[in-house]
Amino acid sequence: MNVDSIRDGIVIDHIAAGGGMKLYRLLGLENLDVPVALITNVVSSKLGRKDIIKIDAAIPVNFDVIGFVDPGATVNIIRDGILKEKKQMGLPERLVNVLRCKNPRCISCCEQELDQVFRLANPRTKEYRCLYCETKAAGI
């Protein structure tokens, strides 16, 4: 299968197989009117199988979301057909408006204008906790 290389845009590579669709949704890529390719189950020497997302436009993306979904992913920024920057993701220290606190006693659940902020509590277990009430993040 061939997907054309992009001239100005972003390639999210080394997504563990199966994570591509989740990332696609969380980044809101279905709402874009630019070419986006989600390629799944690509053979990878490093991962065995991997997913790749190619966005054919120089749009801002939330790197924290990428790092949260797959800290092993890499992001390649392409400008004028040339790799301008390669970013190795990793677990972000904070997630802003990515997760929602499920604790009905939390201030962020009743004051809607507050950002939903989660902090990385345990990198080993990938555990995030609400900044306000310390409730453990539920899955997404």
- Chain residues that interact with other proteins, rule: CB under 8 A: 103, 105-111, 113-114, 121-122, 129-136
C-beta of 110: minimal distance to other proteins in Å? 6
C-beta of 132: minimal distance to other proteins in Å? 2
- Half-sphere exposure of residue 114: CA atoms within 13 angstroms, side-chain side: 15
C-beta of 96: minimal distance to other proteins in Å? 14
Distance CA(87)–CA(71), nearest Å, equals 11
DSSP bridge partners of 16? 50
Nearer to other proteins, 22 or 100 (CB): 100
Nearer to other proteins, 47 or 114 (CB): 114
Nearer to other proteins, 87 or 100 (CB): 100
Q: Which amino acid is at 9?
A: G
Distance CA(79)–CA(137), nearest Å, equals 36
C-beta of 111: minimal distance to other proteins in Å? 5
Cβ(48)–Cβ(17) below 8 Å:
yes
Nearer to other proteins, 10 or 130 (CB): 130
DSSP bridge partners of 119? 94, 129
Query: What is the token pair recorded at 32?
Result: 């874009």
Distance CA(98)–CA(81), nearest Å, equals 31
C-beta of 133: minimal distance to other proteins in Å? 4
Nearer to other proteins, 30 or 113 (CB): 113
